[in-house]
Structure 1
Amino acid sequence: MLIKNVMITDVVSVKKDSAIKELLKTLVTNHIGGVPVIDQDGYLTGMTSDGDVIRYLQPKGRNIYDAFYMVFFNEKMTFEESVETRMQQEVQEIMKKNIYTVYPDDSIEQALSIFAGHHFKKIPVIDHSNTVVGVVSRGDIMRMISNQIITHDNDQ
């Protein structure tokens, strides 16, 4: 089976110069956890997720109390003000730039190999001009496998 048989073609994406606040609004409004990041011409430049936002708000080695102390006592800013300030930064500050992609005519095995070797939840599907034409998720692959097993079991 090919990627084009399981990919989602109604792709929600964000532009790399969008504010992180807009990214969050997009994720929440669409009930999704991640999106491709595109440039002004629609070309893929990265991927980002709710996890990237969380890691951005909570850098490694710091806990929430450290962040609050640093913000409150050193910058004379409340935690909420600090978060609001960070939300104005551009998505390109937090997006993953080294990403794996697949093409619509690639086999499902190509996506399975990427999912098995990495902790990705979604893989962008691009055409040969690097334009996003779809997204394939782990759930899409699992549904396809499950449906084939159910169909196969019903045929017996």
Structure 2
Amino acid sequence: MNVRDLMTPEPITVAPETPVAQVIALLVSQGVNGVPVVDASGALLGMVTSGDLIHRLADERLEPHSSLWRESFYRSVFSAAHRDAPDPAEGATAAQVMSRDTVCVAPEDDMVVAARLLIAHGVKSLPVLEAGRLVGMISRMDLLRCLHAHPDCCNPLKKTD
């Protein structure tokens, strides 16, 4: 079965300038873990997930750190490449908090490819791109629905008698 057969077509999206509070409200009201961020032409720019937004609760500036030297070292060494990017805990818009390195699939890809990518990258859903444009989303739940509806089609280890 292909991704196209299982994906959610025309997924909920947000624009890069969407305020974070609106993104949070959308995730909560729709019961989803993430939304694609797209430009006016429908090109995928990134994803805002619950994982990106949880930084607001884990803001390390609120607790005293065990070592000022260690904090300064990590900030200077590891965040040097991202000095222009806002801290996810401080971002005000979808573009400022989104993950940019998004793993995607094509509608023609087999569902096994989607399952392997979901597992390998530890994500809950994947954008589906066709000709560079977002055409759908496929999630772990979409794959489970398929497994539930067709338990024999998805188990390569099933014994045949």
TM-score by length of structure 2 reads 0.72
Matches within 5 A, 1:120-139: 120-128=123-131, 130-139=132-141
1:144 to 146, 150, 153: 146
Q: Deviations over 1:105-136 (max 9, x none)?
A: 111111011012111001001111x2111000
Matches within 5 A, 1:81-120: 86=90, 89-120=92-123
**Partner residue, 2:26:** 26
Q: CA RMSD in A?
A: 2.5
Q: Which amino acid aligns with 1:123?
A: L
Q: Structure 2: give runs of 5+ residues left out of the alignment.
A: 65-88, 155-161
Rounded to whole Å, the distance in 1 between the matches of 2:153 and 2:58 is 45
**Partner residue, 1:82:** none
Contact kept? 1:2, 1:105, Cα under 8 Å: yes
Q: Could you say what secondary structure the match of 2:18 adopts?
A: coil
**Partner residue, 1:79:** none
Q: Could you say what secondary structure the match of 2:35 adopts?
A: strand
Between the aligned residues of both structures, percent identity stands at 25
Q: Deviations over 1:76-105 (max 9, x none)?
A: xxxxxxxxx957x11111111011111111
**Partner residue, 1:66:** 63
Structure 1 runs (4+) deviating above 4 angstroms are none
Q: Shift in Å at residue 29 of structure 1?
A: 2.1
Q: Which amino acid aligns with 2:17?
A: D
Q: Could you say what secondary structure the match of 2:24 adopts?
A: helix
Contact kept? 1:2, 1:107, Cα under 8 Å: yes
Contact kept? 1:124, 1:134, Cα under 8 Å: yes
Q: Shift in Å at residue 41 of structure 1?
A: 2.0
Rounded to whole Å, the distance in 2 between the matches of 1:16 and 1:56 is 18
Rounded to whole Å, the distance in 2 between the matches of 1:55 and 1:149 is 38
TM-score by length of structure 1 reads 0.75
Q: Structure 1: give runs of 5+ residues left out of the alignment.
A: 68-84
Structure with greater helix percent: 1
Rounded to whole Å, the distance in 2 between the matches of 1:91 and 1:56 is 13
Rounded to whole Å, the distance in 2 between the matches of 1:151 and 1:134 is 23
**Partner residue, 1:5:** 5
Q: Shift in Å at residue 66 of structure 1?
A: 2.1
